[in-house]
Amino acid sequence: MSENVLEQLKGIKNQIEIKLSSNDKLVSFTPLTLKQQKDILDNLSTSATTIITFFNNTTKIIQENILEEVTLYVTDRPNILISLRNNIDSNYNDINLSKLIEKNKKVKSIDLNTTIETKDFTFNVKVPTLDKDIKVNEFLIKNYKDENAVIGKLYVNEVVKFIDTIIIKESDTVINFNELSVKKLFEITENIESHNFKEIYEFIQLVRNHEKELVTLDDVQVDIGPELFVL
């Protein structure tokens, strides 16, 4: 097969307009290729980090396929993945993905930032970007593959993703989570008393509930995982 044919195939680029849940804007993406669909299913482990591996793989594809310069957040991912899957086939386990996408156009975005005060700290908390999400996930997968040890780390993993800065009130010391290694972020977070994270986990739950709304149609939920891309 000539290289010219491959170049012609690569030059055929359609577009899908997908609503971003973080800001209610429509953004252009290219559809999934068969290779990308294959890669999603091929690059999966059988460990406790399987779903994290899936999110990392699909995030990389989302970043490859977006046609505009825009910051993407984890709350954007559900509707993007559903839309990419819908472009292949709108039927998923008797759920009409096209109807779900239409419903999501009416779902309002949520606040991406909040400030949480405790006795000793001020936490600036923010819905993580896809860049931050994948960075923290890759650290977890690389360093904690042992299933017996990973559950607790997943708990820490969530908090690390959502914290933007911490101010230690006693000294006015500012810890910027965007300037440190993920290893250091884990160390810092693990050495703070657990009661300080109560409201942060409540904010995280609000975000997860919003994501759940984006994958639910008529009380039936689409499971965002590898099986979504099995036809």
pLDDT of residue 120: 98
Q: Which residues contact 208 (CB under 8 A, 6 or more apart)?
A: none
pLDDT of residue 143: 83
Q: Which residues contact 107 (CB under 8 A, 6 or more apart)?
A: 21, 210, 213, 214
Assigned domain for 124 exists: yes
- Please check whether residues 223 and 160 belong to one and the same domain: no
Assigned domain for 6 exists: no
* Mean pLDDT score of the chain: 91
pLDDT of residue 7: 72
- Please check whether residues 130 and 200 belong to one and the same domain: yes
Residue 215 CA, chain-centre distance (Å), reads 13
Assigned domain for 2 exists: no
Domain count, the chain: 2
pLDDT of residue 141: 85
Asked if 133 contacts 76 with a C-beta cutoff of 8 angstroms, the reply is: no
- Please check whether residues 18 and 101 belong to one and the same domain: yes
Helical H segments across 66-225, by residue range: 77-88, 97-104, 130-143, 147-162, 182-190, 198-214
Write the pLDDT tens digit of every residue in 14-39.
899 999 999 989 999 999 999 999 98
Look up residue 38 and give its amino acid: K
pTM over 0.85: yes
What CA–CA distance (Å, rounded) separates 199 from 177? 18
Integer CA distances (angstroms), 75 to 127, 171, 182, 210, 231, in order = 8, 34, 21, 8, 25
Q: Which residues of the chain have pLDDT under 70?
A: 1-3, 6, 9-11, 43-48, 145-149
Domain that holds residue 29: 13-109+209-229
- Please check whether residues 97 and 139 belong to one and the same domain: no
- Please check whether residues 161 and 201 belong to one and the same domain: yes
Write the pLDDT tens digit of every residue in 38-73.
988 886 666 667 888 899 999 999 999 999 999 999
- Please check whether residues 153 and 225 belong to one and the same domain: no
Assigned domain for 188 exists: yes
- Please check whether residues 188 and 216 belong to one and the same domain: no
Assigned domain for 103 exists: yes
In what side-by-side order are the strands of the sheet with 113-117? Answer: 113-117, 121-126, 163-168, 173-176
Assigned domain for 7 exists: no
State the DSSP string of 68-102: S----BGGGHHHHHHHHHHHH-SEETTEEHHHHHH
Assigned domain for 74 exists: yes
